[in-house]
Homo-oligomer: A and B are copies of this chain.
Amino acid sequence: MVRPILSPAERARGRRLGAALRRARGDRSMVDVAIAAGIPVETLRKIETGRIATPAFFTVAALGGVLGLDLASLVAEVALPEVAPAADAATA
């Protein structure tokens, strides 16, 4: 009946999302990107560090736009390993 707490898998996905965004940011400063996306730097920092595991849609969309990311690919990249694919390319 109430909002269930985020599962460890969802937390991990948040961390992956943050890592992907940080990677895409490259050597640009957080301030620069945050301003470009129209969000506070503090919020960007929390998202990148994974402390915000389920950010708002439009926030991520704005960041994706600024960073030149394809949202669909981004989702696929950090998706939950629900079915646990046989071969993972992460460590390979």
Contact = CB atoms under 8 A, between A and B. Distances in A.
Interface of A: 13, 17, 54-61, 64-65, 70-72, 75
A68 to B, nearest CB: 11
Contacts of A60: 57
Contacts of A54: 56-59
A56 B58 contact: no
A82 B58 CA distance: 14
B58 A59 contact: no
Contact of A56 (B57, B70, B71): B57
Contacts of A58: 13, 54, 75
Contacts of A59: 54, 57
